[in-house]
Structure 1
Amino acid sequence: MSLLKQLIEIQDNKKNIAVCNNLVSNHEYTGNLKRVKKEFDIEKSKFKSKEIEISNLKKKYQVASNSLNEDKEELEKIKFELYNNAGSDLKLIDALQKKFNKKQENIKIVDNEILKLLEQEEKLSSEKESLKIKLSKLKNDFYTYKNTEGSKINDAREKMKKSEEAIKETEKLIPVDILEIFNKICSSKGTGAAELKNNICSGCKVKVSSMTIDNVKKQQRIVYCDNCGRIIYCNEKKSF
């Protein structure tokens, strides 16, 4: 491998490291995980709230149901007394009839209350089920995204490691003085080498001199761009 190709290989690996590093340090990934987790916690809180509401409704239902049963038992007692023990005592009959009517009215009120409690419970149960489905979806979305993006990040870390190792191995083959020049250009320009296309440096987009082109044609060891100072090269498969 020629010296120039070795420098280009180092540059390509540096570019790869930069791309992978951006992926590894992607704040959007962490932000998205936090957003989904926050949304999950909010919906979970709503779900727990529905459970508490349903539990309280069931307690109210039980109290109302017990009260209804007691009222019905008392109603039967009043009814029995009215038809079996009142005889012709009009005063007692009137008192029992009023008591009977009042108890019937109370039973009707409790019946309506129980009906409303059942309707509320049905509504809350439906809302709870919707929240359960949403929680399940959020949980799946969270882990799917985490696993997918986490895999990309792990792959990026592995590629970075391989590129770093490749750079170290290639640097051992390059003379120290040339490597220092190349790294210095990379530090100031972002890239140290640029391809010459149609006599134009792809790094600075400026046409180079005829002398520089001639030096590249002669495949001199190192040729610099007249304008930006990058090391320029020509793809061997292309002509000037």
Structure 2
Amino acid sequence: MNQLELLWKLQIHEQRLSSIMENLDELEKGIMVDNLNLRIKRLERDIIKKKNSLKKNDERIRENNLKLKQFDYQLKEVEKSLYSGTITDLKQLDYMDKESKSLRKEINEMELEILSLMEEIEDLKELINEVECEHIKLKKDFEVFRVKQKTKKEELKKEVNSEIEIISEIKSKLEKSALEKYNIAKKNKGYAVAEVLDDECSGCHMIISTSLINKVKKEQEIFQCENCGRILYYKNCICNKE
């Protein structure tokens, strides 16, 4: 394997290593785990909020039922006096009649409010059940995800070690001058080896002379783009061997 082929393989494996390291870094940061945790916490807060609303509605129903009993008692007392025949004063009778109507109105409004609260309670119970089911499912999914994340981390770490070994082996076979040219081009341009495409350097897109392309095809020496300094390779020469 000549020096150009080794440099090409070195670049491939360094890019693979970089990609694996990025994936591993994302897993180490635990962004997805944090997002799942946030979703679980939101659901837990939502459950607490809905249960508090349920508790308040239960308390309001109890309070209203007590008031309703008081209104019922007052209404019975008023109507007992109203229809007993013992009261003959017209003003008093008129006052008691109005009081009776007012109490009936209060009772009607109270009963409607209790019915409304009971409907809200049923809706809240249904919503709480839905959210709790979602919460349970998400927690199960979270545990499965954590196991998968841990397994994935171990796999990526193995891949990192494998790529490091391959890179080290390739470098050991490279001549010092070839590796120096590679490192300088990589430092200056981000990646060191550029493919010749349609008589152009794929790195900077400048036209390459026919004579230089012919030299690159022979693979006998390392040639660099006269414009960007990247090491040139010709696809038909190298990629078919990869």
* 1:141 to 1:18, Cα distance in 2 relative to 1, 3 A: farther
* 1:118 to 1:164, Cα distance in 2 relative to 1, 3 A: farther
Q: Distance in 2 between matches of 1:168 and 1:159?
A: 14
Question: Which residue number corresponds to residue 120 of structure 2?
Answer: 123
* 1:43 to 1:179, Cα distance in 2 relative to 1, 3 A: same
Question: Which residue number corresponds to residue 219 of structure 1?
Answer: 219
Tell whether the 8 Å contact from 2:82 to 2:96 is kept in structure 1 after alignment: no
* Unaligned segments of structure 2, at least 5 residues: none
For residues 12-91 of structure 1, what are the structure 2 equivalents within 5 Å?
12-24=12-24, 44-69=44-69, 90-91=86-87
Question: Which residue number corresponds to residue 112 of structure 1?
Answer: 109
Tell whether the 8 Å contact from 1:192 to 1:230 is kept in structure 2 after alignment: yes
Q: Distance in 2 between matches of 1:31 and 1:216?
A: 45
- Which whole-Å deviations, capped at 9, do the CAs of 1:90-147 have from their partners, x for residues lacking one? 359x999x98995786466235313313313423542564476467658749957x94
Q: Distance in 1 between matches of 2:195 and 2:87?
A: 117
Using the TM superposition, name which of 126-135 and 8-17 deviates more: 126-135
- The 3-state SS of whatever aligns with 2:226 is coil
Aligned length in residues: 231
Tell whether the 8 Å contact from 1:75 to 1:100 is kept in structure 2 after alignment: no
- TM-score normalised by L of structure 2: 0.66
Query: One-letter code of the match for 1:206?
Result: M
How far is the alpha carbon of 1:180 from its aligned partner? 1.9
- Which whole-Å deviations, capped at 9, do the CAs of 1:195-226 have from their partners, x for residues lacking one? 22333222222222343233224321322222
Using the TM superposition, name which of 149-158 and 18-27 deviates more: 149-158
- Which whole-Å deviations, capped at 9, do the CAs of 1:64-101 have from their partners, x for residues lacking one? 32454466578778999999xx8xx8359x999x9899
- Which whole-Å deviations, capped at 9, do the CAs of 1:143-166 have from their partners, x for residues lacking one? 57x949958974666544433332
For residues 184-199 of structure 1, what are the structure 2 equivalents within 5 Å?
184-199=184-199
* 1:111 to 1:209, Cα distance in 2 relative to 1, 3 A: same
Q: Distance in 2 between matches of 1:213 and 1:101?
A: 109
Using the TM superposition, name which of 201-210 and 68-77 deviates more: 68-77
Tell whether the 8 Å contact from 1:71 to 1:103 is kept in structure 2 after alignment: no
- TM-score normalised by L of structure 1: 0.66
How far is the alpha carbon of 1:8 from its aligned partner? 0.8
How far is the alpha carbon of 1:190 from its aligned partner? 1.4
Q: Distance in 1 between matches of 2:222 and 2:80?
A: 118
* 1:61 to 1:141, Cα distance in 2 relative to 1, 3 A: closer
Question: Which residue number corresponds to residue 178 of structure 1?
Answer: 178
Question: Which residue number corresponds to residue 163 of structure 1?
Answer: 163
Q: Distance in 1 between matches of 2:238 and 2:186?
A: 25
- The 3-state SS of whatever aligns with 2:11 is helix
* 1:129 to 1:31, Cα distance in 2 relative to 1, 3 A: farther
Query: One-letter code of the match for 1:117?
Result: I
- Kindly, what percent of the aligned residue pairs are identical? 20
Q: Distance in 2 between matches of 1:81 and 1:110?
A: 19
* 1:135 to 1:225, Cα distance in 2 relative to 1, 3 A: farther
* Unaligned segments of structure 1, at least 5 residues: none
CA-based RMSD:
4.7
- The 3-state SS of whatever aligns with 2:237 is coil
* 1:141 to 1:225, Cα distance in 2 relative to 1, 3 A: farther
Tell whether the 8 Å contact from 2:217 to 2:237 is kept in structure 1 after alignment: no
